[in-house]
Structure 1
Amino acid sequence: MPLTDTKIKALKPKAKPYKVSDFDGLYVNVTPNGSRLWRFKFRHEGKEGLLSFGGYPATGLKDARRLRDDARALLAKGINPSAEKAEAKAVAAGKAENSFNKFADLFVQKARKEGRAKVTIKKMEWLLDDARADFGDMPIAEITPQIVLKTLRKREKLEQYETAKRMRSRIGGVFRYAVASGQAENDPTFALKDALIRPTVTHRAAITDEETLKRFLTALDNYGGKRMTVIALRLLMLFALRPSELRKARWDEFDLEARVFNVPAERMKMRRPHAVPLTDLALELLKELKALTGWGDLLFPAQTSAHKPMSENTLNQALRRMGFGPDEATSHGFRSTFSTFANESGLWNPDAIEAYSSRQDKNAVRRAYNRSQYWEERVKIAEWWAGRLVDLSDG
């Protein structure tokens, strides 16, 4: 007679496994430990086969009969249900193997092998966190633009428009990596290019006129804070570097005899090494700084640890104490200060000016073919810029 839930619940374990049939090949296998397991016995092409449908009560009586009926329908079509189940399992395993999380991991590993800075890797992982949480376990080939957009909209609701933009870019990088690996057909973030709210671009404040620069240099001459901070700001202006490229400088990167500061590629935004000419003024400042911090590896160690560089906040706080608000001057803005004065002088090749401050040419074709370093002209620019700053600060 067919099974009922009451009969199944009443089944007791014995010393050896035993079977209790339902009908059409379905039965319950009762084990010595009390488990009640669904089995379906069938024949295909003259050979006996067996399917497992899980255990009772996780798989109920109705579900077990439905699974049996599905298997019998396949048999009626000449299909082996065991082979079909194995294939479906393999497909599911393959999808899990090619999840978004897998390619996100590979994408981050690639960035590490390329020598990206630790802070860059950390930011990359942070930008991928939301995507991992929302669709990380999904097969990457099945993720649609709408699925990605739903994740990005969460940031937009918080008015974090720039974050949403950067997230789209990083998520797109993962998809393009998967496309190149042959596990995805397209990058769904491409379709979202015009779907996100465009963030308002806020440029870092920079001193770009002569009178304000004179006022700043006077304030710097009279600054009552730490001498190391003053030297850092002076060298930042002379070198036209990004703050992080100077703050993390080490003494072994300076060749004083050759008069060059070699910034390693891993610290440069463009991921290529950069050489900075050292003028007489720069050498004087370095000599003074050597007496202050030459006992360690870093030019500008933090106050709390000799093994960590000073923070960019230290430089910006000094600017505030000198009376320059965040809308008037920032440590990052001194590259623009140099670029403005150098270009307005009309004395130098624009490409040499860009090379001096390690800016990337926006013209991709010209960037690819224009490989000149303009070193001799950059040395002249360095001397000119140092002299200009001295003149503006009344010597």
Structure 2
Amino acid sequence: MGVTHNNPANSFKTKHAGGIEKSRTRTPSLEEWPTIFSVMSNYQAHFVRDNYLAIALLLVLGPRKEELIGLPWDELDLQNKVWYLPAERAKNGYAIDIPLPDQAIEWFTELKIKAGKSNYVFPARRASKSGYISHDTLNHALTNLFGKKTGKLESSTGDVLGEAGIKYFRIHDIRRSTRTIMSKNKVRSEVAEKCINHVKKGVEGIYNQDAYFDERVIAHQQLADQIAP
């Protein structure tokens, strides 16, 4: 009783589910970053200094956005130049010790002054249960510079990045930029993958536990030397 011989989903097409998901391919190049940072700096009334430094840290260190914006000060050892990201905060569930280049130490030192007594590197700018900035803060700030709406709000700048010759990209695309630049810097693939905390699947991932820390120190410092100017 009540059994139908027809598939009720037959009338639905791929478009009704939002279309076919496409992988992101946008990768801001090393040559584009001077322009990107210049525009961000020129519009600090709309893209505050904390956001600017967050983008620099995302690019140089290669973490996921959520790992950086929720970063508490007690994970950082600025004296020994290491960020100890624990498994419970790593998106993939794997802890990693991230070497900090000299420039990152300077940026974190500035952020420490700005953060005051907050337990977080990027304190919440309005009432928040988390204590740190919203997951949408960087996304909205970047989107605004591309002249796009953030929620119901119109852009306050217009497409200033586009007018500067920068094709639209998202915060998540920065990790791809990190990885690509390292590849062009001749960083070995397994080292570059570890720099962005990609974990190999299968047997190799189980038995190859080499953290490549010393090699990553060099890779991150090289990238920082390219980006900092």
Answer whether TM exceeds 0.5 for this pair. Answer: yes
Alignment check: 8 A CA contact 1:228 1:300 kept: yes
Mapped pair 1:221 → 2:221:
no
Secondary structure of the structure 2 residue equivalent to 1:261: strand
Alignment check: 8 A CA contact 1:206 1:330 kept: no
**Cα 1:368/1:151, change in 2 over 3 Å:** farther
Mapped pair 1:360 → 2:182:
no
Alignment check: 8 A CA contact 1:251 1:294 kept: no
1:203 to 24, 27, 41: 24
The one-letter code of the counterpart of 1:313 is D
Decide which structure has the larger Cα Rg and report it: 1
Secondary structure of the structure 2 residue equivalent to 1:331: coil
Counterpart Cα distance in 1 of 2:96 and 2:13: 37
Secondary structure of the structure 1 residue equivalent to 2:83: strand
Write the deviation string for residues 57-112 of structure 1: whole angstroms up to 9, x where unpaired.
xxxxxxxxxxxxxxxxxxxxxxxxxxxxxxxxxxxxxxxxxxxxxxxxxxxxxxxx
Of all paired residues, the percent bearing the same amino acid is 26
1:328 to 152, 159, 168: 168
The one-letter code of the counterpart of 1:160 is A
Mapped pair 1:344 → 2:184:
yes
Match of 2:226 in 1: 388
Match of 1:370 in 2: 208
Counterpart Cα distance in 2 of 1:343 and 1:214: 19
Higher-helix-fraction structure:
1
The one-letter code of the counterpart of 1:223 is Y
Counterpart Cα distance in 2 of 1:352 and 1:271: 19
Secondary structure of the structure 2 residue equivalent to 1:343: helix
The one-letter code of the counterpart of 2:223 is W
Residue 263 of structure 1, CA deviation: 1.2
The one-letter code of the counterpart of 1:282 is A
Counterpart Cα distance in 2 of 1:151 and 1:372: 52
2:56 to 226, 234, 251: 234
Write the deviation string for residues 96-149 of structure 1: whole angstroms up to 9, x where unpaired.
xxxxxxxxxxxxxxxxxxxxxxxxxxxxxxxxxxxxxxxxxxxxxxxxxxxxxx
The one-letter code of the counterpart of 2:193 is E
Alignment check: 8 A CA contact 2:27 2:173 kept: yes
**Cα 1:157/1:379, change in 2 over 3 Å:** closer
Runs of at least 5 residues in structure 1 that lack an aligned partner in the other structure: 1-149, 163-198
The one-letter code of the counterpart of 2:174 is F
Counterparts in 2 of 1:1-395, with a 5 A limit? 159-160=16-17, 199-203=20-24, 205-207=26-28, 209-224=29-44, 225-305=47-127, 307-322=130-145, 323-324=160-161, 328-346=168-186, 348-361=187-200, 364-390=202-228, 395=229
Alignment check: 8 A CA contact 2:101 2:224 kept: yes
Counterpart Cα distance in 2 of 1:153 and 1:283: 57
**Cα 1:361/1:328, change in 2 over 3 Å:** farther
- Output the aligned Cα RMSD: 2.6
Alignment check: 8 A CA contact 1:253 1:261 kept: yes
Write the deviation string for residues 275-313 of structure 1: whole angstroms up to 9, x where unpaired.
111111111111111111131111112221364321232
Counterpart Cα distance in 2 of 1:238 and 1:210: 11
Greater shift, 220-229 or 264-273, is seen at 220-229
Secondary structure of the structure 1 residue equivalent to 2:27: coil
Higher-strand-fraction structure:
1
Counterpart Cα distance in 2 of 1:229 and 1:317: 11
Alignment check: 8 A CA contact 1:236 1:334 kept: yes
TM-score (norm 2): 0.78
TM-score (norm 1): 0.47
Write the deviation string for residues 12-36 of structure 1: whole angstroms up to 9, x where unpaired.
xxxxxxxxxxxxxxxxxxxxxxxxx
